[in-house]
Amino acid sequence: MMMAWITTGAVEAADSAFSLHTKAVYNAVCSVCHGDDGTGKTVGDNRFPAVAGLQKWYIEDQLLKFKHDGRGADARDKEGLMMHALVRTLRTDEEIEKMASYIASQLKDTAPALETVKGNVENGRKIYTAQGVMGCIRCHGDKFQGRDEEDADQLIPRAPSLTSQEDWYMLLQLEKFRSGVRGAPARTLIGKNLEQRRKDFARRQKREEKLNGAALMQAMSQTAFATQKDQEQAMKDVVAYIYSESRKSK
């Protein structure tokens, strides 16, 4: 009896940061695509991105968006549609918060660099480090570290870190932002309520969020490449630059 009590206590202590349930859900559902260690996976023709190494707020925000038609609810978004369905495993905002916390705190970004996007690194550097509102560096930072706090006065939203992402994924998302597949909620009844849900969510997390990072990203991706001759190649250049630098810095 005493023994049982001690063992249970030990297990509870070890998992105090996140419940056993969260860990079990990750291992049963998320790990099928994102890998046991969260570094992504390739299954046949399908590639799945890394989740390890992302900031907690970003994971939480994206899960919430997937859940409430803010992302992945576009018929053209093949990969997003998968996540849009699978996120339903997490039934409440609390479960989403716990999962984000588990991924951000327990999974370490250990994936080896594997270059799949070829591009002109110098041109990419120019676009990334451009001065003014068009430069990626403004939000994602000189070390690709992103930023955890927004600066509402300067119109700089929070931004995810780019250091843990693989190049094919960054290119894919950049294309989705540019074509309008990603960045705005769907016109479904659920999507129309998303803004309110996000506000409520932010209030519960005791933080304030004024800027809509995804909408800004959509606008930036559509304007930043407008002056480039070959826009498709320019996107590859940027990704090649980020990938070469972020992997070098490791």
List of residues contacting another protein (CB under 8 A): 29, 32, 69, 73-75, 78, 81-82, 84-86, 88-89, 186-190
In one-letter notation, the amino acid at residue 58 is: Y
CB nearer to another protein: give 99 or 170: 99
Going from the C-alpha of 79 to that of each of 27, 46, 62, 181, the distances in angstroms are 20, 9, 14, 11
CB nearer to another protein: give 72 or 157: 72
CB nearer to another protein: give 130 or 190: 190
Q: How far is the CB of 217 from another protein (least distance, A)?
A: 21
Q: How far is the CB of 190 from another protein (least distance, A)?
A: 7
CB nearer to another protein: give 187 or 206: 187
CB nearer to another protein: give 84 or 178: 84
Structure tokens at 94: 């609390």
Residues paired with residue 156 on neighbouring β-strands, in sequence order: 151
Is 162 exposed, middle or buried (CB count within 10 Å of its CB: 0-12, 13-18, 19+)? buried
Q: How far is the CB of 88 from another protein (least distance, A)?
A: 4
The backbone torsions φ and ψ at residue 48, rounded to the nearest 5 degrees and listed phi first, read -125, 135
If you search the block for the tokens 């023709």, which residue do you land on? 45
If you search the block for the tokens 């495993």, which residue do you land on? 89
Q: How far is the CB of 74 from another protein (least distance, A)?
A: 7
Q: How far is the CB of 151 from another protein (least distance, A)?
A: 33
Closest by Cα among 78, 74, 69 to 48: 78
Q: Is the dihedral of CA 48, 53, 59, 62 positive or negative?
A: negative
The backbone torsions φ and ψ at residue 43, rounded to the nearest 5 degrees and listed phi first, read -125, 105
Structure tokens at 2: 């005493």
Q: How far is the CB of 29 from another protein (least distance, A)?
A: 8
CB nearer to another protein: give 69 or 167: 69
